[in-house]
Structure 1
Amino acid sequence: MPVSHYLLLLASLPCLPLWAAGQTVHRCENSAGQVTYTTLSCGPGENLSLQRINPYQPGTVSPTTESMLPEAEHRQLSGNKPPRKEPTVVGQFEDRCANLITARQRREAIIGRRILAGMSQQDVESALGKPHSIKVRNSSTRYTYATKKGRSAEIVFDEKGCVKGKS
């Protein structure tokens, strides 16, 4: 055969249909119903059936059912699932201001530049910035803020550093 025929044969190999690349595997099932797929032979006492597996064909939308292994059985493994339980809160965060306000109220007050009883000195500074003056007298602290229109605001803290409520 001339060399040109070999070249023609070699050039036409990629054009062979893809079903030629399929493979046969052994499906082995034992008496307990356990299924094993192998290219080797089945063990003693197992039922053998041949399965032809075709590779995925490019250009198709999805693999065809004959190119996939049979779908596994979906069954519930255990019938006694424990009921879902809600988590139990064992401890709760308590700030030094005795949780007079919630975290949400604290955030909203800081964003709105408002001061609420139960806020800490750090919360007040987050909302209004550093005070213009600080006075400490008889275990209480006073922050004074001067506003642009000649007005001032005074915030009084107790001995724990929390904003006192109006008396």
Structure 2
Amino acid sequence: MQGRHFAALFTAALLYPIQDSSAASVFRCVDADGHITFTRHGCNSEQEQHLQDARNHTPSSGKAIPLAAPNRRASGTATNPGELVIVGQQEDGCGNLLTSSERRQAIIRKEIRRGMSRADVESSLGKPDRVTASNGQQRYHYREKRKGGSSRQVSFDEAGCVKGK
């Protein structure tokens, strides 16, 4: 009898909705010039601070999610829409010598450029025919499949990036 009560209690606990503990406090900081920054650490004393709702409700949870309100700026506020502020960028491990566009074009054209990773080289030329290593540096060797074809060698530094010539 006690086992049934335990099973019923366990089943009820599984079906009981659990509060979303992944929600974090996100602050919207507006400085005197009108620049907006979002942070989890609070705003500076000279910035206006607003708490944002950062919960991501599950689909079909039944909770209505309001759409963004239209932009209602004061007519006296001047903005510069051409100004671009970069907050951060992704580090590719090879010194960001190539932009993603340059990297993509080189792979498509089967070119090997300084700053590409091993994965980039394999995307461009395929798996190497032979791999050698000496003094912590690796080399990929490629041979043309046709008879009398030329060979190609790609050298990597200790970080796994294509070395310059």
Structure (1 or 2) with the larger CA radius of gyration: 1
